[in-house]
Amino acid sequence: MEIAFAAEMIIGPVDHPPIAYAQDGVWVRCAGQCPQQLYLTLRSYNCPLAWSPDGEWVYYANGKEVLALQHQGSDKVRVWSGPEVITWLLKSCGQSGRLLFRAGARLVLCEPEGLERTLYQGDFFTLDASLLARKAVVWQKGELILVDWGQGTTDVLISDAPTDFTISPDGEKIAFGENWLRIFSKGQFKTLSTASEASKPSFSPDNQCVAFLNGDYELWTVNVDGSELTKLAWVADTTVSVAERRSSYAFKPAWSSDGRFLVAQLTHATASPERSDAQIEHASVIVDLQEGRAEIWPGYHSLSIFRPTVEARWAGTR
């Protein structure tokens, strides 16, 4: 599997913040070191993860409980347990350490002491949220619903909405991947890219840029005003489309909390006459946007997220 990068990129080791990811358990990868396994489980590839605000713990949704795993040590603490299976652990919040996740049919806000509050309940499919803005968007039966727990309101934003979306950290914009990339703000849509298989959008921490995938074999960025559309990395080998193989192995690209780094999974899929499905290869790319460096990280690393950086840990909490 060959990965190519934008011409100005220097290919080599990237001095990135630690990355938590799921792969037969919970792992942390530090720059220049071998990955360390924090927790072992056989079914972890789709298990939600989040860092604590101080970067000392990795939160992990393990069935019907949330565990906090010490980043540098062996401590393990149960921070929440309940009767429902957790299927989406979104984010930890500022200095408070609050967690937001989906448990069964509920959107739950959990305090560090384990006290919880149900923000929304219903048969919803996908969701995203901004804890800083105290807003969440959920997709339910074709409608995109805005849950503003700061204002105590729940409103239908869009009817017949796609399921692939993300909300900006300031809660003012929603980006959609739906065969092209669009942004919704102040009641109107704007097209940012007409890439044929745009998917998995992810806002930068400053709300000004969106990273996204084309298929799951190209990584792009674009400013929210539509400028500086940039192809950062892509699978150079011949690859079949997501539509041709009828599934995607991609997860949403992740930004570091200071907006300097990006990590994304890329997939190389080739049709095989001997098999009914495609033959799949994976690798992640880690990009230092400030230094113009990029590193290839072979293998499949589900739900990779950067540890909060020192400069950004207290953003929005002053």
Query: Looking at the predicted structure, is the pLDDT value of residue 94 above 70?
Result: no
Sheet-wide strand order for 179-185: 3-5, 230-235, 218-223, 209-214, 188-203, 179-185, 173-177, 165-167
- CA dist., res. 106 & res. 121, Å (int): 4
Averaged pLDDT score across all residues of the chain: 88
Q: For residue 119, what pLDDT is reported? A: 94
**242: DSSP letter:** H
Q: Count Cβ atoms within 10 A of the Cβ of residue 115 and give its class: 0-12 exposed, 13-18 middle, 19 or more buried.
A: exposed
Given a cut of 80, whether residue 232 has pLDDT beyond it is: yes
Report the DSSP pairing between strands 65-70 and 57-62. antiparallel
Quote the CA–CA distance of 142 and 31 in Å, as a whole number.
Answer: 42
Asked if residue 44 has pLDDT above 60, the reply is no
> Per-residue pLDDT tens for 77-89?
888 889 998 888 7
Q: Tell me which of 278 and 12 has the higher pLDDT.
A: 12
Q: What percent of the chain has pLDDT over 70?
A: 92
Residue 108 confidence (pLDDT):
93
20's tokens: 């938590």
**pLDDT value at position 42?**
61
DSSP string of 186-224? TTEEEEEEEEEEEEEEEE-TTSSEEEEEETTTEEEEEET
Residue 208 CA to residue 186 CA, distance in Å, equals 15
For 122, half-sphere exposure in the C-beta direction (CA atoms, 13 angstrom radius) is 16
Report whether pLDDT(318) > 60. no
Band the pLDDT of 155: cuts 50, 70, 90.
Answer: very high
pLDDT band with cut points at 50, 70 and 90 for residue 185? very high
Measure Cα distances from 157 to 153, 160, 165, 200 in Å.
12, 10, 13, 20
Phi and psi (nearest 5°) for 119?
-90, -30
Nearest-10 Cα torsion for 306, 312, 313, 316: -130
Go through 160-175 and write b for each residue having 16 or more CB atoms within 10 A of its CB, e for each that does not: ebbebbbbbbebebbb
Quickly state the pLDDT bin for 148 (edges 50, 70, 90). Answer: very high
CA distance 131 to 119: 12
- Rounded CA separation 50/131 (Å): 13
Kindly tell me if the per-residue pLDDT of 167 is higher than 50: yes
The pLDDT confidence band at residue 311, using thresholds 50, 70 and 90, is low
What's the confidence (pLDDT) of residue 27?
A: 94
pLDDT of residue 115: 82
Closest CA to 45 of 308, 306, 296, 250: 250
Confidence of residue 96 (pLDDT cuts 50, 70, 90): low
Average pLDDT over residues 168-182: 93
Token pair listed for 231? 């192809």
Residue 185's SS3 state is: strand
For the chain, how many residues are written?
318
Reported as half-sphere exposure (CB side, CA atoms, 13 A), residue 215 has a value of 18
